[in-house]
Amino acid sequence: MSPFELLKPATLDEALKIIAAPDFAGRPVSGATAISLMRRAGILNVDSLLSLEGLRAGLRRIQVTDDGQARIDGLATLGEMEGHAGLCASHPLLPQVFSTLANPRVRNVAMIGGYLSHGDPHMDLPPVLSALGARAVAQSVRGVREIAIDQLYQGYYETALEADELITGLAIPRQPACACYKKVTTRARHDWPTLGIAAAFDLDGGRIARVRLFIGAATDRPLRLRQAEAVLDGQGWSAELGRRAAQAAVDEATLVPDSHGSMEYKQALLRAYLPEAVEQALQAPKPAARQA
């Protein structure tokens, strides 16, 4: 690994000024679980790293409002989210996802801002947060803006973040009554997914309503399955409906092969597991009505 300068700002303002400087050619670093591997592999060579660790005391809050919306500061670790009783009650899908995401050593240091900025299309949370309609909070010396997670990823390891922006938060709307993430792996259950399917919807008189379906590990970014959503929306669940939605998903999505599986294999997984994801969403633990 090439030598690098480690910058340790004491305040967020200081950090934002450093990355906004025209001569800054480094990268911000949160938990370093991804960036250290990329540096070791020689994929990323930068001469300075901007550590956000020193800002954690003021930027790690997790708040859930009475109506079930969550706001998470960008430097909260995945482990802190997983261990937050209020968040797990308002968004029971999240602990389900964390239970197979990497391992405790990674989750205990990786921060949600670093996680969201990484942009590996195999990650588990981007399709989940897209299905939930979540938004990343991006901050720079120019101000603050929110970016819908389903707009954050622009390509393979590419995000919509500007070079001078840091992710300082995540806003997640109320979790709908039914939500599920189906992580299909070919080796251990906490391995990277070969395909990830996220489904979130409400029930309106027993019929599927306002459904959002996203898949991960399938193309260079999380992919929304609008045709499959159209098949499901307004319908009561049946195995036949699941088969029709799965066929629509396979027809609309151009899947990309990777080291985990060919395009045909991923198509077969989508056909087999999309109905299961919707059915499991119907049976999944419901969000708590009111949180402290």
Ligand X SMILES: Cc1cc2nc3c(=O)[nH]c(=O)nc-3n(C[C@H](O)[C@H](O)[C@H](O)COP(=O)(O)OP(=O)(O)OC[C@H]3O[C@@H](n4cnc5c(N)ncnc54)[C@H](O)[C@@H]3O)c2cc1C
Q: Which stretch binds ligand X (CB under 6 A): 2-10, 28-36, 79-87, 248-256?
A: 28-36
Q: Is 266 helix (H, G, I), strand (E, B) or coil?
A: helix
Q: Does 214 bind ligand X (CB under 6 A)?
A: no
Count of residues touching ligand X (by CB under 6 A): 30
Q: Are the CB atoms for 164 and 142 separated by under 8 Å?
A: yes
Q: Does 102 bind ligand X (CB under 6 A)?
A: yes
Task: Output the smallest distance, CB 278 to ligand X, in A.
Answer: 22
Strands 166-172 and 178-184: unpaired
Contact residue for ligand X among 70, 81, 93, 101 (CB under 6 A): 101
User: Rounded to 5 degrees, what are φ and ψ at 155?
Assistant: 170, -170
Residue closer to ligand X by CB (options 13, 204) is 13
Task: Output the smallest distance, CB 112 to ligand X, in A.
Answer: 8
- H/E segment holding residue 232: helix 226-232
- DSSP character at residue 244: H
| CA pair distance 40, 182, nearest whole angstrom | 32
x/- map, 160-199, ligand X, by CB under 6 A: -x----xx----------------------x-x-------
| CA pair distance 74, 59, nearest whole angstrom | 6
Task: Output the smallest distance, CB 11 to ligand X, in A.
Answer: 14
Task: Output the smallest distance, CB 90 to ligand X, in A.
Answer: 21
| CA pair distance 186, 80, nearest whole angstrom | 28
Task: Output the smallest distance, CB 168 to ligand X, in A.
Answer: 7
| CA pair distance 18, 234, nearest whole angstrom | 51
Contact residue for ligand X among 124, 150, 164, 229 (CB under 6 A): 124
Task: Output the smallest distance, CB 68 to ligand X, in A.
Answer: 24
- DSSP character at residue 33: T
Q: Which stretch binds ligand X (CB under 6 A): 88-96, 102-110, 222-230, 258-266?
A: 102-110
x/- map, 40-79, ligand X, by CB under 6 A: ------------x---------------------x-----
Q: Does 114 bind ligand X (CB under 6 A)?
A: yes
Q: Which stretch binds ligand X (CB under 6 A): 31-39, 88-96, 206-214, 221-229?
A: 31-39
In order of 20, 35, 38, 250, 282, the CA distances from 27 in angstroms are 11, 9, 12, 38, 42
The residues in 266-285 that bind ligand X, with binding defined as CB under 6 A, are none
Strands of 223-224's sheet in order across: 178-184, 195-204, 207-216, 223-224
| CA pair distance 252, 226, nearest whole angstrom | 8
Structure-block tokens of residue 45: 């060579």
Q: Where on the chain is the footprint of ligand X (CB under 6 A)?
A: 27-35, 37, 52, 74, 101-102, 106, 110-111, 113-115, 117-118, 123-125, 161, 166-167, 190, 192
